[in-house]
Amino acid sequence: MSVIKFLTSKTFLKQLVLAVVAVVVFCFLMLKYLNFSTNHGDFETVPELKGKSINVAQIELEDNNLVMKIQDSANYNPDYPKFSVIEQEPLAGTQVKENRKIYITLNPSGYRKMNIPDGLIDRTYRQVKPTLEALGFKVGRITYADNIGKDMVLKLSHKGKTLNPGDKLARTSEIDLVLGNGKRP
């Protein structure tokens, strides 16, 4: 039997039509199953969580059939209450599927504590000020004491307590400086 005779035979054509019908039926059933299993067209709206406590955010997400995932806390933001949501992903108002994870970032309880660096004593004010500001500290009150080194940092203090290298202090804290006035003691 030749190939052309086989391709034009009744048996081959019948098998070809059955195969096409089977593929069409399979595709139709698969599309119906996907519409059902993926909840096609059913969306949940992401609520606004910024500024809300973690408990309130949890309740709101559960009411909307969404799942909360907490990311690491960010830098302290004084505009928001402690342990409240400061960022969320996806944003509020976004349409998402049921049981979607909503990633939130919490506001920590306060500024992170930083170490007082070594080597600030016996340096000039011009060198110490940018170092402290780069670490997030503020330069507070400046007083002068008799010392031959003019504008040389003699002592660091915070709220009357002398600071030593390695001491921990919250960012944005004010550090008072005692500088030399250039006069011999």
Residue 174 lies in a domain: yes
Q: Are residues 126 and 168 in the same domain?
A: yes
Question: What pTM does this model have?
Answer: 0.57
Domain edge (last residue) among 61, 89, 106 = 106
Q: Inform me whether the pLDDT recorded for 185 exceeds 80.
A: no
**How many domains does the chain contain in total?**
3
* Mean pLDDT over each residue of the chain, to the nearest integer: 88
DSSP state, 37? H
- In this prediction, residues 159-183 reach a mean pLDDT of 90
Give SS3 for 171.
coil
Residue 51 lies in a domain: yes
Q: Are residues 54 and 90 in the same domain?
A: yes
DSSP state, 84? B
pLDDT score at 74:
66
Residue 55 lies in a domain: yes
Q: Are residues 62 and 85 in the same domain?
A: yes
Residue 134 lies in a domain: yes
Residue 166 lies in a domain: yes
Among 48, 88, 40, CA closest to 68: 88
Distance of alpha carbon 143 from the chain centroid = 40
Residue 91 lies in a domain: yes
Q: Which two tokens stand for residue 185?
A: 């003691």
Q: What is the pLDDT of residues 112-169, one digit of tens each?
A: 788 888 888 999 999 999 999 998 899 999 999 999 889 899 999 999 999 998 898 8
Question: Do residues 151 and 139 touch, judged by C-beta distance below 8 A?
Answer: no
Q: Which two tokens stand for residue 129?
A: 């000020």
The residue segments making up the domain with residue 24 are 3-37
Q: Which two tokens stand for residue 70?
A: 């907490």
Q: For the chain, what percent of residues have pLDDT higher than 70?
A: 99
Q: pLDDT grade, residue 4 (50/70/90)?
A: confident
- In this prediction, residues 92-96 reach a mean pLDDT of 89
